[in-house]
Amino acid sequence: MVEAHRREWVFVLAATARVAGDLDLAEECVQEAYVAALGTWTRDGVPDKPGAWLTAIARRRALDVLRRRQVLRTKLPLLVEPEAVEPEAVEPETVEPETPDEVAVPDDRLRLVFTCCHPALAREAQVALTLRLVCGVSTLDIARAFLVSESTMAARLTRAKKKISAARIPYRVPDSAELPERLDAVLTVVHLLFTTGHTAPTGGDLVRADLVDRALHLARMLRELMPQEPEVGGLLALLLLTDARRATRTDDQGRLLRLEDQDRSRWDRSAIGTGHGLVVEALRTGRAGRYALQAAIASLHAHAPSYAATDWPQILRLYDALLARWPSPVVALNRAVAVSMVQGPESALAEVDTLARDPRLAGYHYLPAIRADLLRRLNRPAEAADAYRAALALTDNTAERTHLTTMLTPLLPHP
């Protein structure tokens, strides 16, 4: 069942949404299909094609609901006829032929991402709802990505769904002309999906490979769909260059290894080469945005022979350009690390302490973690220990907690 959920959820949702014409209804029907599968599969065994089984059940549920609504509309003729699929015209087991616009976005998952990033919703709602509905990211993990509490994010998701329902926003694949206006939200979805998988906000493992692989798949499909967009190439480059280190980010026991402690000979050189080529191509267009700039930073790290021999001055210049284009407090915090390598930890600490007053970073555990590292390098062990404790209080990932504890222990007074 877990495997069926991981592999089939998006495809079942997309097929059901075509019939339902309503993502909220489609989600409810897909959830009911999985509940039905729990009982039936336990009794009869898993079918040969679990995705087809789930799709058939979910589509039948959707058609039942649509028929009931049709009856209701017949009895209440004063109601305005909503934009919906005529249920009688759809057979439960048939798959509708793809329209030319659907063919223009050939991947079912990518098509659903573009559809969910509806301009009637605020950008943050587009991204959060898509991550939840299409990508299966938990509300807690989305909240972490947006630096808000879980309850705040849950309320935002509920409001977004209500707006879709109240405004009668239909499920409709955008045509080719509508894709560019939705591109930035789609890129943000793919980036946050990758980030959530690259370092899981919660759980026992540092990496959630299923989310990383899904993000890479979507980025590759985007690149095929819109090769002329430099930010699409920049995003794919960023993901490839970052993921090239996956095998070396933990040791054999699953413990986190810092960048300076990783075995660079084991990095994926093929991915690094491809990513670097995409970065160069994006920069040459003169229209490089935040993803291409981040990818350029990742490329410098990937080609450095060691942590100490990294071209930190160039990385700092790239962070300056990135911060000018994307004034995010998280970018400013990452820039502080580069400052520490170019100008020393004292200068970086002053910048981190300024950022600590930004309420958007109040629950962001990397801020006290970076602060702790700077204080440790300045030989201020008691303050560093306090900062590591603060980071531990904000961290829910077991691998990261273990790493922070390992860093904290030598700083504690000996009994």
Residue 99's pLDDT band, with cuts at 50, 70 and 90, is low
Q: What per-residue confidence (pLDDT) applies to 77?
A: 56
Q: What per-residue confidence (pLDDT) applies to 415?
A: 67
CA pair distance 388, 40, nearest whole angstrom: 49
| Residue 27 or 236, more confident | 236
Q: What per-residue confidence (pLDDT) applies to 170?
A: 66
Question: What residues contact 324, with CB distance under 8 A and at least 6 apart?
Answer: none
Q: What per-residue confidence (pLDDT) applies to 223?
A: 95
Q: What per-residue confidence (pLDDT) applies to 102?
A: 55
Cβ 199 vs Cβ 177: under 8 Å: no
| Residue 203 or 316, more confident | 316
Q: Span 50-62, mean pLDDT?
A: 91
Question: What residues contact 189, with CB distance under 8 A and at least 6 apart?
Answer: 113, 117, 126, 127, 130, 131, 134, 135, 218
pLDDT digits (tens, 9 = 90+) for 353-368: 999 999 999 999 999 9
Alpha helices by DSSP H, listed for 76-178, are 100-104, 108-116, 123-133, 139-146, 150-166
* Lookup: tokens for 96: 């509708």
Q: Span 153-172, mean pLDDT?
A: 79
Residue 190 has pLDDT above 90, yes or no: yes
CA pair distance 145, 351, nearest whole angstrom: 22
Question: What residues contact 283, with CB distance under 8 A and at least 6 apart?
Answer: 292, 296
Question: What residues contact 349, with CB distance under 8 A and at least 6 apart?
Answer: 340, 371, 374, 375, 378
Question: What residues contact 49, with CB distance under 8 A and at least 6 apart?
Answer: none
Find the distance separating the first CA and the last CA of the chain, reported in whole Å. 51
Residue 149 has pLDDT above 80, yes or no: yes
Polymer length of the chain: 415
1-5, 211-215, 309-313, 334-338: range with lowest mean pLDDT: 1-5
| Residue 323 or 137, more confident | 323
pLDDT digits (tens, 9 = 90+) for 246-295: 999 999 988 999 999 999 999 999 999 999 999 999 999 988 899 999 99
Residue 89 has pLDDT above 50, yes or no: no
